[in-house]
Amino acid sequence: MALRSQVVPALLEHARTSPSAPALLWRGAPVGYGALAAMTRSAAAVVAELPPGPVSVVAEKTPETVALVLGCLAAGRRVLLPAATLPVDTVSGLHDRAGCVAVLAAAADGTSNAARLTTHVVDVHAAPSDHPEPDDADEVAFLLTTSGSTGVPKIVPLTSVAVERFALWADEEFDLGPGRRVLNYAPLNFDLCLLEVWGTLRAGGCVVLADPERATDGVALLDLLVAQDVHVVQAVPLFYELLLAAVPGARVDGVDRVVVTGDAFRPDRLPALRALFPNARVDNVYGCTETNDSFSHELRPGLTEIPIGTPLPGVRALLVREDGTVLHGPGVGELLVTTPFQTPGYLDSPDRFTSHPDGADDLRYFRSGDLVRRTADGSLLLEGRTDFRVKVRGQQVDTLAVEQVLLDHSGVLEAAAVVVPDQRAGNLLHVVVRTDGSVNSLVLRKHCAERLPPAAVPSTLRVSKDPLPRTSTGKVDRKHITTTMELVI
């Protein structure tokens, strides 16, 4: 019998055996497993009356929305989870591309004992054949999306099998079961929720939902971790920077596992992070929406570089040179990954999966687009992106390398380098940085000139004290920055 997701069956079993045990904590109020199961059944009854096909759920973080997603899964519907912050036209395009028959939103009733749903049926003009589905489409549970930081978001189906395999690994690795409290900082549409929300509910733990309205309030986030006795924290580097800046010298003693994921973390910040969570094991986890978590590395004291780590169980990885051959020793190549948790392929776009270059196995490898350096001792270090290598004044420049040089300056908190077309020069390199106020553009330009080749020194360097724009998944929104730069120029 095929492996299937046990998120909903496990939830109902927890409700039967421990109905008063907290499943969710939201704004200081608990929602028990019994109450969440009742909300899930109510949602499933509404979804069952809809026309056949995928449904979209407005991913506003509330207990009712969690119940609505569970209700969709219970009713056997694929669930598209677009970010609540996406432009209307983008969301409408996602609905059409996924073939959604309805958009569902959960309305809180103030008691969290039932889910009142408002529904809007979407007219689907395209024939079903216009919406190609991946293999094993009947087993698809979630339709996630990529961040869209460099273009239009792609739709990433996750099968029930992939969700179940990941939930089993996450529970074994982080102990998500009864008595454990797991922070959910990410938006509900983000793939991090496979661990923080759906994996935790499957295991019987308690999900502590961080309020999006206070997502940038470091003091409030620290208070939440302490007041709710959180044990497991997983978040993007921005979250930890907010905590570190909020109350210097603060300690959170109850957390025993800390996961840094979603973006590169600065090695020079590790001592402060470890001091903030003195009793926690700290890990860097590497992955992407298409493959889910793939590598993990414990961040021990003294690291000056952060490796992506060693493969998780069942994960295989290759480094491939520009000529398509496999790199076996030290050097730089594109990272190809295959995991037990990966998507069967994009729903509506050419996928980036390929076979083993040497034909050594029959697995499907995802071309990550990440350039990775393997050192003599076998460590894997991120070097940049294949799609961030561009020609500037006729020379190849890696924009991520430019960003890293700027981030190496103690006064720089964030940096984003983008390329803007220019009629005379072809491409120009522009950078926006957020600083602590101690440096100006002249200082930073000199810093770059001393460390980068001439073509990689930014043509424009804008300094700001405001946070850089970010996508719904917490990554720097380079598309927005590029558009802004083009308008200015």
- Is the pLDDT at 98 greater than 80, yes or no? yes
Average pLDDT over residues 445-463: 88
Is 82 inside any structural domain?
A: yes
> Which band of pLDDT confidence, cut at 50, 70 and 90, is reported for residue 422?
low
Q: What is the CATH number of the domain that holds 471?
A: 3.30.300.30
First CA to last CA distance, the chain: 60
Considering its fold, how many domains does the chain have in total?
3
Q: 211 and 74 in one domain?
A: yes
Contacts of 427 (CB under 8 A, 6+ apart): 390, 391, 392, 393, 419, 420, 421
Is 119 inside any structural domain?
A: yes
> Which band of pLDDT confidence, cut at 50, 70 and 90, is reported for residue 485?
low
Asked whether 481 and 453 are in contact (CB, 8 A), the reply is no
Average pLDDT over residues 430-439: 91
- Is the pLDDT at 132 greater than 70, yes or no? no
Select the more confidently predicted residue: 476 or 166. Answer: 166
Average pLDDT over residues 193-202: 97
Q: Which of 346, 365, 385 is the last residue of a domain?
A: 385
- Is the pLDDT at 115 greater than 80, yes or no? no
DSSP secondary structure code for residue 237 in this structure? H
Average per-residue pLDDT in the chain? 86
Q: Is 436 exposed, middle or buried (0-12, 13-18, 19+ CB in 10 A)?
A: exposed
Q: What is the pLDDT of residue 466?
A: 85
Q: What is the pLDDT of residue 425?
A: 54
* Residue 335 structural domain: 311-385
Is 98 inside any structural domain?
A: yes
- Is the pLDDT at 202 greater than 80, yes or no? yes
Percent of the chain with pLDDT strictly greater than 90: 61
pLDDT tens, 259-269? 999 877 888 89
Q: Which of 215, 244, 272 is the last residue of a domain?
A: 215
pLDDT tens, 358-379? 999 999 999 998 889 999 998 9
How far apart, in whole angstroms, are the C-alpha atoms of residue 353 and residue 260?
Answer: 26
- Is the pLDDT at 156 greater than 50, yes or no? yes
Q: Which of 182, 215, 248 is the last residue of a domain?
A: 215
Select the more confidently predicted residue: 124 or 285. Answer: 285
pTM of the entire structure?
Answer: 0.81
Q: 445 and 357 in one domain?
A: no
- Is the pLDDT at 194 greater than 70, yes or no? yes
- Is the pLDDT at 30 greater than 60, yes or no? yes
Would strands 29-32 and 232-235 be described as parallel, antiparallel, or unpaired? unpaired
